[in-house]
Chains A and B, each alone.
Chain A
Amino acid sequence: MTGKTLYDKIWDAHRVAEDANGETILYIDLHLIHEVTTPQAFAGLRAAGRPVRRPDRTLAVADHNVPTINQAAGTGAVADEEARLQLQTLERNVAEAGIEFFPMGDVRNGIVHVVGPEQGRSQPGMTIVCGDSHTSTHGAFGALAHGIGTSEVEHVLATQTLRQRKAKNMRVWFGGEPAPGVGAKDFALALIGLIGTGGGTGSVIEYAGPAIEALSMEGRMTLCNMTIEAGAKAGLIASDAKAFDYIRGRPAAPKGAAWEAAMTYWSSLHSDPDAAFDREIHIDTAALSPLVTWGTSPEDVVPVSGHVPDPAHAPNAARATQIQRALDYMGLTGGQPIGEARIDRVFIGSCTNSRIEDLRAAADVARGRKVAAHVSAMVVPGSGLVRDQAEAEGLDQILIAAGFDWREPGCSMCLGMNPDKLVAGERCASTSNRNFEGRQGPGGRTHLMSPAMAAAAAIAGRMIDMRDLPPVDGAA
């Protein structure tokens, strides 16, 4: 008999019942909620007279809509009337249901996928869902974590379960040792560039290999976060001592004897050596260089030293049309060096890259340098606690001295539904996860990259390999 994958094991441990229609009723350990994808779910429960089954397994934050300045003024001061109503609706719903909630301005508030791990709520072996596609982030802890729609949010609130069909098993092996300046964001972009945005559809991806073991928890979260951009249901990484160390001592982490029991169980959660995967992919990280996106899909990837594709060299007419459409939107010419394009804005933040390690990487590049005169650059920490830690380390002072705008936590300019957005035609170097048309604001042009690369773009005013930045005066 062949062994089981990590996904198989978590799936089996959460099966409540099999329905006649072919769906499995799967138990959900942690349900994260936010203001945008829940109002209709709570309204549905109210209309049907159904209570929230397990408020204690639910955690709420306000992140998508919130402004990233002046949060202490509270929800009532949010200028956008619709956003304010949505935030107030969440406040009312969680109060009625008795759900733990970190409101805007609370130091524990922030982007839902930063807060869950930070509080120790996201743990190995769990099933974790949220009405947000980047829930795949929590797979970094060896959990089965994925996004759901609002009807499913309502279903989880009412039943603490989800109706699911088993996905396929896919493993992506990251071998080799990456060059300095190449990290988790480049791993993610390399994979999506290779298999495409539909390449993972119907599969759960397990990441493994020496380059994954070497990644920090922040890096693993970045990689798992971007799994949805490859179309996969979820991405996960077997938990190890690094994961346990990250969780230990956090507010919701098991304590005392429970911690020992949990560690014993968590240590058993890995794919068996003889487990069969439906598909396996190998990527040699030693061969990677810092990557950026040139187009309007996360699969439109090019090394920062490379050239934008030329539709004349496309493999077929359909692809040529697609490339031309993306070039037109992005204001680029086929075949031009990507490094020639002038950057107007820089955004360092989002559930992909707003954790302490990301801010350290950006500050390392910014230290002693200045943001180019024509660039407006902002740094948005993933949570109030990340912001506090960064300030304790003096990162804010380095970034502010370089000319970056230092903001309060939230989803910010990742998705253009709060005051932080691009103006039509603006070109942005962004650490977020999607470069779709209009994603950061109507007509905005997004280039995805790592925090260090985004900081380098801010300094140079164009996309540049940060290893090619001129040395800081007085440095070696």
Chain B
Amino acid sequence: MKPFTRLNARAAPLDIANVDTDQIIPARYLKTVERTGLGKGLFAAMRYEADGSPKPDFVLNQSEYASAGVLIAGDNFGCGSSREHAPWALLDFGIRCVIATSFADIFYNNCFNNGLLPIVLAEDEVRSLMDEARGGNHVFSIDLEAKTVTLPSGRVVSFNLDAGRQEKLVKGLDAIGETLQHVGSIDDFEAQRRLTQPWVAA
């Protein structure tokens, strides 16, 4: 997984609450056996007209946000389906950080397995970030090691993230490789379960 340390990128405001993963990437795009190429389906219903032409009023279709690397959204971002195609689609489009007041659990976990940084901030902060993203200069600077977002105005906003998740992103850790270091404990657990719950272990 690609490590995440710093990001300087344009930030796009998507002022909608409860953005669900069907909105992020509709089911018809999930018929792929690859992780890449999903960016074209990102926010398809909001982004394209029925004939496939871009909807001019959608934020990512506006020239100043077309290369956005940060997305700022409302409450409960990523709710609904567990599809990891949602972070894959965001990353494939070029978005490496989503800032919101809250995230749905499965989406939040999926982010950390893909090098996508979800940042939780209070509502008034998210509101002020949206305002700055709507201004003339849209570039935000994110420093994951310092856990700060530097806004176009120069103001620095700190965010919280537990150390384990931070390390996972900063080092780009392979979770399976880390877990396999505990393989002895897994073997012991299974041996024990064969004795205590033989009906499961059968």
Segment touching B, from A146-154, A348-356, A360-368, A455-463: A146-154
Quote the shortest CB–CB distance from B160 to chain A (angstroms).
14
Residue pair A233, B105 in contact (C-beta under 8 Å): yes
- Please indicate the chain A residues that have their CB under 8 angstroms from the CB of B105 in the complex: 167, 201-202, 231, 233
Q: Given the interface contacts A231-B79, A417-B28, does A48 sit within 8 Å of B176 by beta carbon?
A: yes
Q: Given the interface contacts A155-B175, A258-B198, A258-B199, does A415 sit within 8 Å of B27 by beta carbon?
A: yes
Q: Given the interface contacts A155-B175, A159-B179, A261-B198, does A65 sit within 8 Å of B31 by beta carbon?
A: yes
Residue pair B80, A436 in contact (C-beta under 8 Å): yes
- Which one of A20, A40, A297, A415 lies within 8 Å of B34 (CB-CB)? A40
- Please indicate the chain B residues that have their CB under 8 angstroms from the CB of A43 in the complex: 33
Quote the shortest CB–CB distance from A463 to chain B (angstroms).
23
Cβ < 8 Å to A, chain B residues 35-82: 35, 44-45, 50, 75-76, 79-82
Residue pair B178, A158 in contact (C-beta under 8 Å): no
Residue pair A22, B164 in contact (C-beta under 8 Å): yes
- Which size class do A's interface residues fall under? 35 or more
- Which one of B23, B81, B84, B176 lies within 8 Å of A438 (CB-CB)? B23
Q: Given the interface contacts A36-B30, A297-B18, does A25 sit within 8 Å of B182 by beta carbon?
A: yes
Residue pair B18, A123 in contact (C-beta under 8 Å): no
Residue pair A16, B114 in contact (C-beta under 8 Å): no
- Which one of B20, B28, B82, B162 lies within 8 Å of A147 (CB-CB)? B82
Residues of B within 8 A of A (CB): 17-18, 20, 22-23, 26-28, 30-35, 44-45, 50, 75-76, 79-84, 87, 102, 104-106, 109-110, 113-114, 162-165, 167-168, 175-176, 178-180, 182-183, 185-186, 189-190, 193, 197-200, 202
A149 to B83, CA, bound (A): 6
Segment touching B, from A83-91, A273-281, A282-290: A83-91
- Which one of A21, A37, A50, A126 lies within 8 Å of B83 (CB-CB)? A37
Q: Given the interface contacts A254-B199, A436-B20, A436-B22, does A155 sit within 8 Å of B35 by beta carbon?
A: no
12 further A-B contacts with Cβ under 8 Å, apart from A21-B165, A82-B31, A85-B31, are: A19-B164, A40-B33, A50-B176, A149-B113, A159-B176, A159-B179, A163-B175, A265-B197, A424-B50, A434-B80, A436-B20, A438-B26
- Please indicate the chain A residues that have their CB under 8 angstroms from the CB of B175 in the complex: 151, 155, 163
Residue pair B33, A89 in contact (C-beta under 8 Å): yes
A438 to B26, CA, bound (A): 7
Quote the shortest CB–CB distance from B75 to chain A (angstroms).
6
Query: Could you say which of B28, B106, B176, B202 has the most chain A C-beta atoms within 10 Å of its C-beta?
Result: B176
- Please indicate the chain B residues that have their CB under 8 angstroms from the CB of A442 in the complex: 26, 44-45, 50
Residue pair B82, A133 in contact (C-beta under 8 Å): yes
Q: Does A213 contact B (CB under 8 A)?
A: no
Residue pair A151, B113 in contact (C-beta under 8 Å): yes
Q: Does A177 contact B (CB under 8 A)?
A: no
Quote the shortest CB–CB distance from B138 to chain A (angstroms).
23
A381 to B175, CA, bound (A): 38
A38 to B27, CA, bound (A): 15
Q: Given the interface contacts A149-B106, A149-B110, does A25 sit within 8 Å of B198 by beta carbon?
A: no
Residue pair A151, B114 in contact (C-beta under 8 Å): yes
A448 to B163, CA, bound (A): 41
Residue pair A133, B106 in contact (C-beta under 8 Å): yes
Q: Does A161 contact B (CB under 8 A)?
A: yes
Instruction: Name the residue of chain A whose CB is nearest to the CB of B189.
Output: A16
A258 to B28, CA, bound (A): 44
Q: Does A80 contact B (CB under 8 A)?
A: yes
A133 to B35, CA, bound (A): 19
- Please indicate the chain A residues that have their CB under 8 angstroms from the CB of B106 in the complex: 133, 146-149
Quote the shortest CB–CB distance from A87 to chain B (angstroms).
10
A-B CB contact pairs (8 Å), 26 listed: A25-B186, A27-B189, A27-B193, A36-B30, A40-B33, A65-B31, A85-B33, A126-B200, A133-B81, A148-B109, A149-B110, A151-B110, A197-B79, A198-B75, A201-B105, A202-B105, A258-B198, A258-B202, A262-B197, A297-B18, A416-B26, A416-B27, A436-B20, A437-B23, A437-B45, A442-B45
Q: Which 7 pairs across A and B sit closest by C-beta, in order of nearness?
A: A21-B164, A151-B113, A254-B199, A417-B27, A39-B33, A82-B31, A147-B82
- Which one of B32, B104, B176 lies within 8 Å of A82 (CB-CB)? B32
A436 to B18, CA, bound (A): 10
User: When each residue 96-116 of chain A gets 1 if its CB lies under 8 Å from chain B and 0 otherwise, what string results?
Assistant: 000000000000000000000
Residue pair B17, A149 in contact (C-beta under 8 Å): no
- Please indicate the chain A residues that have their CB under 8 angstroms from the CB of B31 in the complex: 36, 65, 80, 82-83, 85-86, 417
- Please indicate the chain A residues that have their CB under 8 angstroms from the CB of B165 in the complex: 21
Quote the shortest CB–CB distance from B190 to chain A (angstroms).
8
Quote the shortest CB–CB distance from B161 to chain A (angstroms).
12
- Please indicate the chain A residues that have their CB under 8 angstroms from the CB of B18 in the complex: 197-198, 297
Residue pair A198, B102 in contact (C-beta under 8 Å): yes
- Please indicate the chain A residues that have their CB under 8 angstroms from the CB of B50 in the complex: 424, 442-443
A20 to B116, CA, bound (A): 22
Residue pair B80, A23 in contact (C-beta under 8 Å): no
A25 to B45, CA, bound (A): 38
- Please indicate the chain A residues that have their CB under 8 angstroms from the CB of B83 in the complex: 36-37, 149
Query: Could you say which of A21, A82, A146, A297 has the most chain B C-beta atoms within 10 Å of its C-beta?
Result: A21
